[in-house]
Chains A and B, each alone.
Chain A
Amino acid sequence: MTIPIRPLTVTINGRQHGPMDVPEGLMMIDVLHEMLGLTGSRLGCGIGICHACVVIWDRDDQTSEEVRTCITGAGFFDGKRIRTIEGTAQTDERGEIVALSPVQQAFLDQFSFQCGYCTPGFVNAATVLVERLKRAPVPRGEVQATVAAALETHICRCTGYVRYYQAVRDVILTTPGLTRDGT
């Protein structure tokens, strides 16, 4: 049996990968794990429900959104720019982490995660939310509902969600420009 091959070029965490030959029909998570050594995105359910596998897709219109790599084929990402959990923290020229992102730092400070399996997905979801609020702030009174809506699809089995949600809420409330007055 021969497996058809398709070319893929994708920019991940600011670095272009490819063009490379990818067996047609591989999901993006397989490419990240098996071909690129980026194993931080987690396979949780494989059917697009738990959202442990989401990466951030940076669209040309400067918006960003989550994409589930377990059910999205590699082909979808051809020519696109994405961020994975490996690219979230700031690193120096040697690749050493010098600063965590505000979301990552808040998750650490607030003991948000336990086993950590769902954490990359939560970091990405919260990052996308923060970026959205930069473009379109919400009234302070709506922050909790906004956080809940943005994270609802992410499954966590360990934490009961409370410390994740609280950390994201606090990041939003303490970052200038993400909220406006009102309820």
Chain B
Amino acid sequence: MTAADLARDRLAFPDFYGEDMLLPQGKTPAYLGQAVAILIYHEFARFRFAREKLQFNDAVIRYGAVTGPLRRDPWGAARFVRVGGRTPYDDDVFSCLKQGPVSATFDNHEPVWPKPARDGGIDAQGMYYANSITDELAHPPAEWLVLTRDYATQSGDTTALEPDNANGWYDADKQDLHLVVPTQSPQEVAEGAATMLERSRIGLKRLFLHPCFTVGYGSKDHCPMPYYGVIAALYGDGRPVRLANDRFDQFQAGLKRHQFGMRYTMAVERNTGQMQSFQANIVANGGGRANCSVALTMVGATSAESVYYFPKSDVAATAIASRALDCGSARGYGALESMTATELMVDEIADALGIDAIDLRLRNVLKTGMKNAQGAVPLGVQRAEAVLQQARAHPLWTGRAARKQAYDAAHPGKYYGVGFGSIQRRFGTGAEASLAKVELALDGRVTLSHSGTEIGTGASSSQAVACARWLGRPADALDMAVTDWPDLPVQTSGDPHTMSQADQNRLAQNPRWSPAYASASSASNSAYYFTHVTQEAARVVYLYGLWPAALAIWGSGSAQEVKPEDAQWRNESLTVEGREPLPLARLAHEAHARGLVVGAAVHGFNRWQWAEADFVVDGVLVHALVDGLSVRFGNGAGAAKQALSSTPNRYQVLDRRAVSFPPTQNNNVMIGYNTAVGTLTELAVDAASGKVALLRHHTIVECGNMLVPQLVSGQIQGATATGIGLALHEWLPLYEDGPGNGTWNFNRYHVPRGSDVAVWDQTAEVLPPLSKNEPPKGMAEVAGIPIMAAIVNAIAHATGHRFRTLPVTPDRILEVLA
């Protein structure tokens, strides 16, 4: 199939992905690696040998005249300006929260910022304060140290080991389309595929989507591959078609990591080490398709402050369009890049001031109640300070000078260094939604269905475990990535990130409506967001099923004497002092017999706070932090109750009574739930080869109450390995020599091996939770970030040279050691 076939049948990408799913004849490609045609073979061997003829064969595509690359406007640009009040707790003079971000126009494909005016519109005011920050940094007070540095991070591949693929078949008679796809965002694929077919000349009555357990690190989130799979299926002559990248294809066509360029200027008062002002210009190369480039770049911009409080800040960010490959939501999502640069700069400033690098961080760390660079106060207790204190006392840090002396003397030609990096990072996307259904069988077995997808992080295990809080045991059976929810109809419209408050208010009157349906598995969102809906569903079953069943067994008067919060699960029995412990199986049986709630399906939405609503369950007013709820009653329910159960699985869909959605203003301000992480690294640089040997590393994380400690430690180990790769090994050229040319594979893209990660000599600690009720927090994506700066800072300690471009390869080390 070529573009002509697609045009004939009116098949095109969903809007999110832009135009030219296949490059039309006669048109300049928008980017390297753009798809031109899909060839379908009916027999594997033919495919295999045809591939050998076609792959690496430049003559396969006939090129026309040289036009040069397209020049296009950036995908987006914005500027985040803040001038704080007298203290971090006072009202801001200007901030995103109070006024808003500054937006740009484009001239000759470059961003143009509005003219400054103190009393103008928001943009003009913002520029007035931005310029005042610029002027001050250009003519700083004598006691300020002002440092300007350029940083760059690499384009890269997320290198999920399972390459992108999509499988499908189309039954033309029934107009059924079946898709089997590994994706982080099954809901997005379901909606996108349906939309795509709706607009086409090809009929679709039913779409069957079978999402798979997979892995992506962002490359399978809002990824174009499933839509190519749809096309292949439609033109497969009724046969099942498998579209699967090999590794060369995956480098050539998989979503890439954005390359970042960052110019930072930071001012610090010399005597106190107090940070005064921060200005940044961030340019992220979004490549050929917009995808999530704007959102990711803005997250990068609003994360650049890292763990610090700045009285003044001005961060401009542009996501440019280029002929590089299209980029996706690669792990770290912009914050990885911008925070790493900050952590390198802070280390250099500490050096310049002669202050211990962790001390300097402690003097400036953002504490609970302080405003971030958008003028918002981050939610919850801020624990970066605790992480820093822990790191400062760690033996890797305290003994580093003596160890360097001893090591260097004992190993001529090797340079020892210790480095540190620390960040805090929001988890979640600011519009998190998911569904969960918890059901108790007659024998007490627990079944959990969830909209979240397992992407290797252990979300399925942790969600099963999360049931135990209310039901006394983990789920026995589990269904993840569920896209079909007949028991809980939820309608959605509009964009949760950009809708107006008025629109939200109007739409919310529909009791089935929510700003978003179901989130991709990304942004470390399972531990907190997925768990919330799982536990809300389980809580409803507990409070309106198990608890009344227990009271019934314990006998009259119990309801007055014991409260649900007095009860505890012990050995799968509900226990209250002075009462008979009741095994779950017995309670389940009782709840079923009495027609109590034995199943609950919920939909939750979070925009840095949960939507909440009232529901009437079996005559009782129930308040829950969800915006949709259906319940199922036990088999002993009377006819009246049974009549209410209208869904295929005999659920009663409840109309919410009073709903409160988080305000849309939360979109402007990255308030967020933060997780703080710090990593210490110890390494030796080999002057002969330029190679860096990582000797040890230690990571300190705070992430609330852990659901499954082994999963947390596994995520730290995996994420730090990714960080090591980005600090030292992994990179891709952006353009003609880059992966778009189809010749990249693991021979040139070095994914860290066991010998690269200090496999036997790494440690981690998780700070004790603040309380036993502190929710679990997302930490996987976060844990990989600080090690990058920690490594580069350790190389500075080792060699005296500060690298500002990643990765720090042996050749670059040799250059500076020579």
Contacts and interface: CB of A to CB of B under 8 A. Distances in A.
Given A46-B248, A47-B247, A117 B746 contact: no
A158 B248 contact: no
Contacts of A42: 161-162
Interface stretch (A12-20, A79-87, A130-138, A161-169): A161-169
B714 interface: yes
B745 interface: yes
B44, B162, B215, B759 — which one has the most chain A CB atoms within 10 A of its CB? Answer: B759
Interface string A1-42: 101000000000000000000010110001000100000001
* Size class of the contact patch on chain B: 35 or more
Interface in B745-762: 745-747, 751-755, 757, 759-760, 762
Interface in B685-729: 708, 710-711, 713-714, 716-722
Nearest to B216: A115
Contacts of A160: 714, 716-721, 752, 757, 759, 762
Interface in A33-79: 34, 42-47, 49-50, 52
Given A46-B246, A111-B711, A114-B456, A155 B44 contact: no
A148 B754 CA distance: 7
Given A30-B48, A52-B161, A43 B246 contact: yes
Contacts of B506: none
A16 to B, nearest CB: 22
Contacts of B719: 160
B761 to A, nearest CB: 10
B746 to A, nearest CB: 4
A74 B455 CA distance: 32
| Chain A contact patch, size range | 35 or more
Contacts of B162: 42, 115, 117
B247 A45 contact: yes
B747 A49 contact: yes
A94 interface: no
A3 B246 contact: no
B161 A155 contact: yes
B747 A25 contact: no
A107 to B, nearest CB: 12
A144 interface: yes
A34 B163 CA distance: 18
Given A115-B162, A152-B754, A45 B458 contact: no
Contacts of A49: 745-747
A114 B162 CA distance: 12
A115 B161 contact: yes
18 contacts: A26-B45, A44-B247, A47-B747, A50-B161, A110-B710, A114-B215, A115-B161, A115-B455, A117-B160, A118-B161, A144-B760, A152-B754, A159-B714, A160-B752, A161-B753, A163-B710, A163-B713, A165-B759
B717 A163 contact: yes
B759 A158 contact: no
B40 to A, nearest CB: 16
Nearest to A113: B456
A152 B45 contact: no
Contacts of A43: 163, 246
Contacts of B754: 148, 151-152, 154, 161, 165
A115 to B, nearest CB: 3
Interface in B136-176: 159-163
A152 B753 contact: yes
Nearest to B717: A160
Interface pairs A-B: 3 shortest CB-CB: A115-B456, A115-B215, A160-B721
Contact of A157 (B159, B711, B745): B159
B457 interface: yes
B322 interface: no
Contacts of B714: 111, 114, 159-160, 162-163
A165 B46 contact: no
Given A45-B247, A162-B757, 10 more contacts: A26-B45, A42-B161, A44-B161, A44-B746, A52-B161, A159-B718, A160-B714, A160-B716, A160-B719, A161-B759
